[in-house]
Structure 1
Amino acid sequence: MKVHFICGYYSDLAHTSKKRPEDYWDAYFYVWAVKVGKFRRSFFAHKPSGKIRINRGNFELVRQWFGDFIVHTLKTENETDDVLLIPVPSKDGVVGEKTFRTLEMVREALSKKPLEACIFDGIRWKMKLQAAHEGGGRSRAFWRDQMVVDPAVEGRSVVLIDDVLSTGSTLLAARDALTAAGATVLGAVTCGRTIYDLATKPFGLQEIWVENELSDYSGNRGASQD
């Protein structure tokens, strides 16, 4: 599955071994801002036209620009015809809840944009999930077993949307669940990709093929590469 992203999200664990350069700090705060949707501090967003300082007064731009990236990606991939954009549910995306964080993220990002009507709340968690330290697994199989898919996806083409690609386990589990329900998953778009070195650009149109779970952080990789 092809995953498109715009930021190299240099991990906190890697940062303990080799400090983030300033432009990776900007990418870190940009991804965090898209994910959470709350102002934390000022930073620079890097666009082809140059750096733009994000502050409390123009903070709404961060998700708008992520929405622009989603629209641009789908147009470039010719995936704008009759496609469903399905947010990968955040931990609060439990069956029965009115909404959840990543759904609201995508709604705000695509507000008043051509693909706004394509957003579809198609995957939820069966129940509130345990934290890792409480015994909750984190494998692709674990996530897949916890997903409930709306049967309306049958016969539809789907693009998954998420905030960050780390190991890819939830994205792959979502693809597995949707495929089993009769959907065709064309790919995924995320804001960031967790990285452990500086080989990936902090900002820019980037992509990676993910067919198996990616390796998570290990200390001996902290100063040298996701």
Structure 2
Amino acid sequence: MPAPALARHLAALLPSQCALCHAWPAQRLCAGCRARFARPQARCATCACAVPEGVARCGACLRQPPPLDGCLAAVDYAYPWAGLLAQFKFQGDPSWAAPLARLMREAPGAAQAIAQADLVLPVPLAAQRLRQRGYNQSLQLARALGAGPRLQAGLLLRLHDTPAQSGLARTQRLRNLRAAFAPEPLAAPRFAGRRVLLVDDVMTTGATLHAAALALRAAGAGSVGALVLARTPPRHD
């Protein structure tokens, strides 16, 4: 086993410091930091952006309803979660999946959404990035959510690689993702009337999740929702 991988393996087995406050709680994110940095907040029911208390849907979703029936997020994509996600996503540390998935399960409505889903599908990663990274961070999170046999990683396919989406505007993301997803052909009948829950790490503009949802709806899914770890606050230009 390579030295970095061995170090990560040992770190997962041994008591560890909280990554944020450096206390020794024998877990990577202590209860105090979760309470401080992952406070529940009111979010739009269909895009998960923060909204005032008592508001069900944001103005953007009222004007143009998205193809998702619901969307849940645990935290905003900001300090400290952006840095921890970078370790998980880009620095080869899949051991972050379990503590980050715990945050997702603790989000209001998340446990119910997981329990009610017929199929739990991680958003597939582009093949080139999967080779570079060595794992799909969305699949790692989905496994750690505890969906059991309802987790079906191979049912949603990514048909072609797309340019890196980071930093792109929504219109460019949508253009890149046009026809990017499709159900596995032999499994397409399994979507008929099913309640599908998509799992991803970050929702920025929603373009990726919307493209996946449209493909699932075309295959006959009865409803499509999403659960993400972090939601990037929308820009107000």
- Interval containing the TM-score (normalised by the shorter chain): 0.5 to 0.7
Equivalence for 2:119: 84
Alignment pair present for 1:143 and 2:177: yes
SS at the partner of 1:35? Answer: helix
Deviation at 1:81, TM superposition (A): 3.8
Instruction: State the identity %.
Output: 22
Report the Cα offset of residue 37 of structure 1. Answer: 6.7
Q: Identify the residue that residue 101 of structure 1 maps to in structure 2.
A: 136
Structure 1 segments unaligned to the other structure (5+ residues): 11-23, 40-58, 196-214, 222-226
Residues 80 and 141 of structure 1, relative CA distance in 2, 3 Å threshold: farther
TM normalised by structure 1 equals: 0.55
Residue number in structure 2 paired with 1:204: none
Contact 2:123-2:139 within 8 A present in 1 as well:
no
The 1:107–1:9 alpha-carbon spacing in structure 2 relative to 1, beyond 3 Å, is closer
Q: Which amino acid aligns with 2:136?
A: R
**1:105-120 matched pairs, under 5 angstroms:** 105-110=140-145, 113=146, 115-120=147-152
Aligned to 1:192: 230
How far did 1:105 drift?
A: 1.9
Match of 1:33 in 2: 87
* Count of residue correspondences: 154
Question: Alignment RMSD, CA only?
Answer: 3.2
Query: Aligned with 1:183: secondary structure?
Result: coil
- Is 1:178 aligned with 2:210? no
- Relative to its length, the structure with more helix (as a share) is 2
TM-score normalized by the length of structure 2: 0.53
Give the distance between the partners of 2:99 and 2:202, measured in 1 at CA: 15
1:107 CA drift (Å): 4.9
CA contact 1:102–1:163 (8 Å) conserved in 2: yes
Q: Secondary structure at the match of 1:4?
A: strand
Return the alpha-carbon distance in structure 1 between the equivalents of residues 164 and 98 of structure 2.
31
Letter in 2 for 1:183: A
The one-letter code sitting in structure 1 at the alignment partner of 2:195 is S
The match for 1:3 is 71
CA distance in 1: counterparts of 2:197 and 2:91, whole angstroms? 22
